[in-house]
């Protein structure tokens, strides 16, 4: 009787690691979205309150470079999606990671001429711009490294997880673009 | 295990390129009253293409896909309103 109860108890308590990982992944995704949402909301508010600083910021930003970075990032998302749909995961993850690193190189090129002008700017808008774009840059760099790691030994679960995070980064950039660059 | 995408991935990518190009053109040439709605619509289109075209969420969790699109809608509408109203002040 005791043995039977123990067995039933063990069966009943069997962990479901896939579901647990997925829940953690979505907690991570939504916490990131909330953080970026707050930052973008604050940026919109400051843009509204300080149009002079906004005009000064717009003059320093390089719109064609931001457009090129967008094209590179969504192309990288295309390769991550191909990997997640089971098509040559290793090659597609490597291509996605390469896209991430090219995006970072383009942002560094933009920062080199934006930073001196931003340092001379008064007000908080320039600092908030650097916080948003720098935080996103750090995400791209880190997850590009993760893409390389997963590409080394791709399992369906890891590929799906890293591709989800990569698409989140794509999505955040596509929301940064209208708030920060296109206004 | 292979999961066929709901939308063809090359078509999603091509649509993203077109929407990005149109956003840049809209930002450069349109007056602010038109620029706001145009940029909001194009940005929301791009966000929906990412969620529905690249992610597998639409089939695996329609609620999460809807929540992501709702989030993007709020941000795009706020950005569009800010751009459009800037021209009035």
At A92-103, the pLDDT tens digits run: 999 999 999 999
The CA-atom distances, in angstroms, between A80 and each of A90, A106, A155, B53 are 10, 20, 14, 12
With a CB-CB cutoff of 8 Å, which residues 13-52 of chain B face chain A?
Answer: 13, 16-17, 20-21, 23-24, 26-28, 35, 39-40, 43, 46-47, 50-51
Report pLDDT for A170.
94
Summary mean pLDDT of chain A: 87
Please compute the mean of the pLDDT values over residues B74-78 and round it to a whole number.
95
Total structural domains within chain B: 1
Q: What integer is the mean pLDDT of B44-64?
A: 86
The region that residue A88 occupies, defined by phi over 0 for left and psi between -120 and 50 for alpha, beta otherwise, is left
Split at pLDDT 50, 70, 90, the class of B78 is: very high
**pLDDT score, position A11:** 44
**What is the structure's pLDDT at A121?**
80
Q: State whether residue B9 sits within 8 Å of chain A by CB.
A: yes
Tell me what ipTM this predicted complex has: 0.91
**Torsion-angle region of B31 (φ positive above 0: left; ψ -120 to 50: alpha; else: beta):** beta
Q: Is residue B8 part of a domain?
A: no
The number of C-beta contacts closer than 8 angstroms across A and B is: 117
Where does the pLDDT of residue B2 fall: very low under 50, low under 70, confident under 90, or very high at 90 and above?
low
CA dist A90 and B29 (Å) reads 42
In chain A, the percentage of residues whose pLDDT exceeds 90 is 60
Asked whether residue B19 is assigned to any structural domain, the reply reads: no
pLDDT tier at A117, thresholds 50, 70, 90 = confident
List CB contacts (< 8 A) between A87 and chain B. Answer: 2
pLDDT at A22 over 80: no
pLDDT above 50 (res A10): no
Domain that holds residue B87: 31-89
User: Is B1 near chain A, with CB under 8 Å?
Assistant: yes
Question: Which residues 45-84 of B are in CB contact (within 8 Å) with A?
Answer: 46-47, 50-51, 53-56, 64, 68, 71-72, 75-76, 78-80, 82-83
**Residue B22: what pLDDT?**
95
Q: Which of A96, A89, A60 is nearest to A169 (CA)?
A: A96
Give yes or no for residue A1 having a pLDDT over 70: no
Q: Is residue B1 part of a domain?
A: no
Q: Which of A64, A77, A174, A181 to mutate to test the interface with B (most CBs of B within 10 A)?
A: A174
Does residue B37 form part of some domain?
yes
Q: Is any Cβ of chain A less than 8 angstroms from the Cβ of B6?
A: no
Q: Quick one: pLDDT band at residue A4, thresholds 50, 70, 90?
A: very low
Q: Domains, chain A, ranges and CATH?
A: 18-181 (1.20.120.80)
Residues A173, A44 contacting (CB under 8 angstroms) = no
Report the candidate in A131, A123, A115 with the shortest Cα–Cα distance to residue A48. Answer: A123
Of B2, B13, B47, the CB nearest to A86: B2
> Is position B20 within any domain?
no
* pLDDT value of position A18: 56
Separation CA A170–CA B46 (nearest Å): 10
The verdict on residue B16 lying in a domain is no
Q: Judge whether B60 and A160 are in contact, CB under 8 Å.
A: no
H or E segment to which residue A16 belongs: none
Using an 8 Å Cβ cutoff, are A161 and B37 in contact?
no
Residue A174 and residue B82: Cβ atoms within 8 Å?
A: no
Give a yes or no: residue B3 inside a domain: no
The answer to whether residue B86 neighbours chain A at the CB level (below 8 Å) is: yes
């Amino acid at each position: 009787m005791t043995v039977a109860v123990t067995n039933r108890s063990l069966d009943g308590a069997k962990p479901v690691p896939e579901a647990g990982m997925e829940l953690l992944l979505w907690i991570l995704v939504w916490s990131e979205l909330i953080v970026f949402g707050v930052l973008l909301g604050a940026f919109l508010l400051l843009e509204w309150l300080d149009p002079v600083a906004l005009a000064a910021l717009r003059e320093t930003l390089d719109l064609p470079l931001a457009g090129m970075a967008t094209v590179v990032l969504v192309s990288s998302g295309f390769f991550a999606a191909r990997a997640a749909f089971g098509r040559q995961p290793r090659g597609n993850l490597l291509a996605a990671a390469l896209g991430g690193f090219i995006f970072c190189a383009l942002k560094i090129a933009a920062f080199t001429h934006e930073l001196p002008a931003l340092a001379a700017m008064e007000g908080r808008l320039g600092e908030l711009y650097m916080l948003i774009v720098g935080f996103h840059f750090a995400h791209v760099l880190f997850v590009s490294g993760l893409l390389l790691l997963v590409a080394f030994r791709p399992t369906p679960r890891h590929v799906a997880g890293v591709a989800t995070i990569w698409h989140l980064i794509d999505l955040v950039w596509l929301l940064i673009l209208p708030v920060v660059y296109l206004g | 295990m292979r999961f066929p995408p709901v939308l063809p991935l090359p078509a999603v990518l091509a649509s993203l390129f077109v929407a990005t190009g149109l956003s840049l053109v809209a930002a450069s040439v349109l007056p602010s009253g038109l620029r706001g709605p145009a940029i909001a619509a194009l940005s929301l289109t791009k966000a929906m293409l990412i969620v529905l075209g690249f992610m597998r969420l639409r089939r695996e969790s329609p609620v999460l896909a809807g929540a992501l699109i709702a989030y993007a809608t709020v941000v795009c509408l706020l950005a569009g309103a800010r751009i459009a109203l800037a021209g009035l002040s």
